[in-house]
Amino acid sequence: MRLSTLEVLSEAEVNQIHNATLDILGGCGVEVHNAKMLAFLKDKGLDVDEEKKIVRFTRGCVEDALSSIPSRFEVFDREGEPAYILGDGNPKVAAGHNAVFWVDSETGKTRPSRVEDVARFARICEKLDCIDMIGIPVMPQDVPNPKATLLHGVAATVKNSRKPIYFSTDSYAVNRSIIDILAAAFKGDLSNQVYGISQLSPTAPLYWEGSVIDAIMNTVETGAAISILPEPNAGVSCPYTLAGLITVNNAECLSGLVMIQLLNPGAKVMYANSWTTTDMRTGDALVGSTETTICRVAAAQLARLYKTPSHTTAPNSDNHAHDEQNSWEKTFSMFCATAARHDLIVNCGMFATGMTCSDEQLIMDEEISAMSRRIGEGLRVDDETIAADVIREVGPRGSYLMHDHTLQWIREPKEYLPPRVSVRGAKASWDAAGAKDTYALARKKAIQLNTEGGCPIEANRAVNIDEIIASFS
């Protein structure tokens, strides 16, 4: 039996948040700074205040739009081969995305990120079993055109790994060029096969910038999938209470999903969240706090109400070091996101409130993710696994070590999770192997996986990608 799905809201509480959200969307509305979208929504019969740029969504409009969202969709790798399904109840894990700094493996110091960091990150991700998708880990700082930094990150990723891509920007031009890069890299048909997911975000509270709306409209035209990810900050851009935080996130997310479904009913979308709580003693925004993790669980419940694939961020930590706090914040956030059955969980390899990445963090996070998924899968109970006949056969004081049943189940990959870099065994054995801690073992594994080379793209596709970046201004 699988682990029971984690919940923090009762059915009545889910409906209370939903109804409050509908009241907000229908009464207060959201501000949309895009004349084309305002005209489109007015034409669809919505209440649009053109002077104040406020759109109000009726309950019927919201519910009709939500009913057209696909509850699941297939995702493909760079070569056009099926990778997995989002929305099937089995959480998928992504590395990255959009940090700025990198911890240098040789010096141990934090520095500005580089394009080669992204390329190496992608090569390592290609070899990691529990990384299903790659978010662009950083916006590399060593590029000639700062406006194109994310394009260089996308290019370095798709050139070195087959795995599907997750990206985000608030710029229409950057979003458009990234989709062009994905089309140049992808061997399938980007208009109806999902290879990349574009994350687009409103600005809390209840506000949509014009460029983001342009990006939404253009992305819908291309057929690419969209994740609507609000980022309210408790006590700053939404109420300080957790229920208020969730409600603002819900209203902003639904407003985006509704606009997309009005543009193209049946468009592939994800219900997402990346809220922060606030330490009011310091003013710091937090992504690894206990409270953000409670909200992650609630968000999965709301997504299930809407029958929409869901995305959240994890494993998250606000600490700046690879230490115990980093580990416990990341483990709690990833386990709860997995146990709540989010469909896509993004942020492996990041720490320091999402500002910094490292190869070592990626390796350790992949193991945390694998452990969380294994716990979520639970245990198989049937005649074969109970093995009552084997127990009777071996009897009192017998040995199972060389029994056929033991030898058979040693080879069963789903029964026991093999360690990646976890330290196990006697101290004498550990000492004899150099007494390396987990961070040192992660560094060694990252070097090994990078040396194996990832999966380079063909030269002609790489040239096409470079031409797209060169033409960007």
Q: Can you tell me the distance from the alpha carbon of 11 to that of 13, in angstroms, rounded to the nearest whole number?
A: 5
Q: State the angle between helix axes of 59-67 and 242-263 in degrees (0 to 180), rounded to the nearest 10.
A: 70
Mean pLDDT of 274-296: 95
Main-chain phi, psi angles of 50, to 5 degrees: -70, -30
**pLDDT at position 473 over 90:** no
Half-sphere exposure for 315 (CA within 13 Å, toward CB): 31
Residue type, 22: L
Mean pLDDT of 105-112: 95
Alpha helices in 264-358 (DSSP H): 290-305, 324-339
CA–CA distances in Å: residue 308 to residues 65, 225, 295, 303, 414: 12, 13, 17, 5, 28
Mean pLDDT of 48-57: 97
**pLDDT at position 413 over 90:** no
CA angle 353-331-170, nearest 5°? 35
CA–CA distances in Å: residue 256 to residues 29, 311, 413, 462: 12, 15, 41, 34
Q: Answer yes or no: CATH 3.20.20.480 is held by domain 73-377+461-470.
A: yes
pLDDT band at 357 (very low <50, low <70, confident <90, very high): very high
Q: Can you tell me the distance from the alpha carbon of 214 to that of 223, in angstroms, rounded to the nearest whole number?
A: 15
**pLDDT at position 317 over 80:** yes
Residue carrying structure tokens 């406006």: 147
| Contact call for residues 72 and 271 (beta carbons, < 8 A) | no
Task: Using the Cα atoms of residue 434, residue 439, residue 442 and residue 448 in order, give the sign of their dihedral.
Answer: negative
Q: What is the mean pLDDT of the chain?
A: 96
pLDDT band at 72 (very low <50, low <70, confident <90, very high): very high
Whole-number percent of the chain with pLDDT over 70? 100
For the segment 202-259, what is each residue's pLDDT rounded down to a tens digit? 999 999 999 999 999 999 999 999 999 999 999 999 999 999 999 999 999 999 999 9
CB atoms within 10 A of CB 258: 26
Name the nearest CA neighbour of 96 among 71, 72, 118, 81: 118
DSSP per-residue string spanning 72-131: -EEEE-TTS-EEEEETSSS-EEEE---B-EEE-TTT--EEE--HHHHHHHHHHHHT-TT-
Name the nearest CA neighbour of 197 among 154, 168, 159, 229: 168
Q: Can you tell me the distance from the alpha carbon of 326 to that of 330, in angstroms, rounded to the nearest whole number?
A: 6
pLDDT band at 179 (very low <50, low <70, confident <90, very high): very high
Output the pLDDT for position 132: 98
3-state class percentages of the chain: helix first, strand second, coil last, to nearest 5: 45, 15, 40
Residue ranges, comma separated, of all CATH 3.20.20.480 domains in the chain are: 73-377+461-470
For the segment 421-470, what is each residue's pLDDT rounded down to a tens digit? 999 999 999 999 999 999 999 999 999 999 998 999 999 999 999 999 99
Name the nearest CA neighbour of 375 among 127, 91, 133: 91
- C-alpha R_g of the chain: 23
